[in-house]
Amino acid sequence: MAATHSVARAASSPGRLGAYLQCSPEAIRTALAVIEGATTLAHTRLGEVLLEGKLISRVELRAAVQAQRVDRLRGCALFASLSESDLVRLSEVFEEVTCEDGEVLIEQDEADDHLYVIASGELEVFRVEAGVQSVPVTRLGPGEPAGEMGFVSRRPRSASVRSMGRSELLRASFDALRAAVEAIP
């Protein structure tokens, strides 16, 4: 019953993967302590540590990751009106990526074929114009998409996007996203 409550709570506000997992809070705290205590695991994900420690199964991890993706996509205006089953289908074409502070994920005037949805952190959209290093356009936060205009226009990017601090994102290729969207009635 506690696991059901955890998933229901997570659905109301997309959060960390631990909220979606069917394991004890103590197991999660132990795994987080392992990650924090080992410098070589600094970028290791919680689910990987729990899986390695045999505290969850691969099936449980996949279900938790998918539930988290669905909630994150539901929080994005582009996908908010989709049904639960459509969100589940759509979630399968996304993957989690991490961007470090200052990392540029979209380059102005370059062809790029990915759409991003911000799970956590902040992205800055900026343009490089003659005589000016970069001109800020806007900042994007959790739930907002980045790269959607490239999906629609299929043209080179009109601006660059970089991470402001560490950001967790969902990323889907345009081709996979287009196929998933076309399969949704």
Instruction: Determine how many CB atoms are found less than 10 A away from the CB of residue 165.
Output: 12
Q: Do residue 110 and residue 165 come from a single domain?
A: yes
Q: Do residue 69 and residue 118 come from a single domain?
A: no
Q: Do residue 68 and residue 14 come from a single domain?
A: yes
**Exposed (0-12), middle (13-18) or buried (19+): which is 68, by Cβ within 10 Å?**
buried
Residue 34's pLDDT is 77
Residue 84 located in a structural domain? no
Residue 151's pLDDT is 75
Q: In 3D, which of 137, 178, 184, 142 has the Cα closest to residue 161?
A: 137
Q: Do residue 46 and residue 124 come from a single domain?
A: no
CA-to-CA separations, 171 to 9, 49, 66, in angstroms, rounded: 24, 23, 14
Q: Do residue 179 and residue 106 come from a single domain?
A: yes
Residue pLDDT tens, the chain, 185 long: 333 333 333 334 456 777 887 777 788 787 778 777 765 545 677 778 787 878 888 898 899 899 999 999 999 999 999 999 999 999 999 999 999 999 999 999 998 889 999 999 999 999 988 877 788 999 999 999 999 887 777 788 999 999 999 999 999 999 999 899 888 86
Q: Do residue 31 and residue 69 come from a single domain?
A: yes
Residue 114's pLDDT is 94
Residue 155's pLDDT is 82
Residue 126's pLDDT is 95
Q: Do residue 102 and residue 175 come from a single domain?
A: yes
- Domains held by the chain: number: 2
Residue 94's pLDDT is 96
Q: Do residue 60 and residue 106 come from a single domain?
A: no
Q: Which residues contact 51 (CB under 8 A, 6 or more apart)?
A: 57, 58, 61
What is the residue type of 20?
Y
Residue 85 located in a structural domain? no
Question: How are strands ordered across the β-sheet holding 160-163?
Answer: 104-106, 160-163, 123-129, 132-140
Residue 81 located in a structural domain? no
Q: Do residue 104 and residue 137 come from a single domain?
A: yes
Domain encompassing residue 57: 2-74
Q: Do residue 101 and residue 37 come from a single domain?
A: no
